[in-house]
Amino acid sequence: MFFPIGGGGDAGALTIFYGIPGIPGVTSNEFAYNILVTNCQFLSADRSIVMPYYVSNVVVRSCDFIPSGLKDTWGSNNVYTGQTSLQYEVGILVRQGGSYNLVVLSNTYGGNILLTNVNSNCPTSWIAPDGLVYFQGEGNAFIAGNCITNYGAEAVQLNAGPNSVVGNTFHTLVSAGSCCALNAIGSSQNGAIGTNVINYSTCFVGNSVYGGRTGEEATQSTLPFTINFSGNSLYLYPAFDATNDYPGAAVGVAQCQAANVCGNTLSNGGWGFVFTATNNKALILNNNFANAAYRGIGYFFGGDSFSTAQIFGNTLGQGVSFHVQLPYTNSFGWFLGSNTYYNMSSTSVPLFADPASSAIHIFN
């Protein structure tokens, strides 16, 4: 089904696709399916494409998205004018009803085309829209070859899965704590085949990230998820010298079942890898985190945990603190081998770990 203008909760959307919810015990859900959106230009919308529920087999390809703010702040000349209230400001929004087999390929997204410089302090209001993709509940999403610029929050947010985010270019002039290329988590929304762990998995591979504060930021996960974050290059902005502003990381996880972080290069940023809450296992392999300005690998709060971690073949900078900081109670499950360690002067030094006395396993 196709509607040019949304109504109700989706007023302000340019395009809406949705199926028909079934009646429990009487009828099945009826999907809208086999939808192709190609070579379109979406102007002056806070949401260009919305799929509220039951949509399958969708391709959005070679389209241009140029938002201009909320429905109550339409700008002229198709440029973003700022946000007056908290809303979803994204190119493509999938709501929680469950939509599957979604391909977002070779599109461009210009969040705020008027931005020419990085903001010099913490923004008091949003200076750019969220990003291209916000999938609240979905499965089998493939997001590849897109160019996503001047986003203000999550360029791509994925609450279920499984998903693949491959070969995209992220570039933003926004520096804010919530500005990240990817926010992939495990939510309570169904993925492709329910709520088991395979549905909360995302591969983020071969992407280029310039700007923002974090590569993968997963701080609000409610269910365990898995992340494969590999082969990416990242240049991230530092935190401001201000109260309650914090450095970002190439990868940040929370409630993570398994994190595979392999072959990434962080040329500028706060952390290499940071974790919060309760996590299970991590493989951190062959990454170059030498330029981490705050810390190589560690936790965010006291009480955060990672049961096991295998950290091999990496180049780790200590920034202004440690190469590796780990929970003492988890240290018996941490293994470090064949890593190279640098201080702030780019001099090779021995491992500087916290706590200094623990059951961590270290070998050359």
Ordered per-residue pLDDT tens for the chain, 364 residues: 343 344 445 766 889 998 888 777 777 788 899 999 999 999 877 789 999 888 999 999 999 998 865 444 444 455 665 655 545 689 999 987 678 999 999 999 998 888 899 998 887 667 888 999 999 888 899 999 999 999 999 999 999 889 999 999 999 999 999 999 999 988 767 666 655 667 789 999 999 999 999 999 987 777 888 999 999 999 999 999 888 899 999 999 999 999 999 999 999 999 999 999 999 999 999 999 999 999 999 999 889 999 999 999 999 999 999 999 999 999 999 999 999 999 999 999 999 999 988 899 998 7
pLDDT given for residue 71 in this prediction:
41
Report the DSSP beta bridge partners of residue 323: none
Torsion of the alpha carbons at 149, 209, 242 and 355, rounded to the nearest 10: 160
Phi, psi of 99 (to 5 degrees): -130, 145
Q: Are 347 and 315 in contact (CB under 8 A)?
A: no
Beta carbons of 145 and 167 less than 8 angstroms apart = yes
DSSP 71: T
DSSP letter string, 22-64: PPTTT---B-EEEEEEES-EEES-SEEEEE-S-EEEEEEES-E
Domain boundaries, given as residue ranges, for the chain: 1-206+242-246, 248-364
Instruction: Report the C-alpha gap between 27 and 101 in whole angstroms.
Output: 22
Question: What tokens were used for 41?
Answer: 């230009």
- Token digits for 21? 């919810």
Question: Omega before 162 cis (within 30°)?
Answer: yes
Nearest to 114 by CA among 101, 127, 103, 102: 127
For the stretch 197-219, what's the b/e string if a residue is b when 16 or more beta carbons lie within 10 angstroms of its beta carbon?
Answer: eebbbbbbbebebbbbbbbbbbb
245: helix, coil or strand? Answer: coil
pLDDT of 195 reads: 57
Q: How many other C-beta atoms can be found within 10 angstroms of the C-beta atom of residue 187?
A: 21
pTM (2 decimals)? 0.92
Tell which residue, 144, 145, 158, has the closest CA to residue 226: 158
Predicted pLDDT at 6:
40
Nearest to residue 228, comparing CAs of 293, 289, 162, 135? 162
* Token pair listed for 260: 């595979």
Contacts of 331 (CB under 8 A, 6+ apart): 355, 358, 359, 360
> Residue 193: its pLDDT value, please?
60
The position carrying tokens 């990454």 is 287
* Per-residue model confidence (pLDDT) at position 242: 86
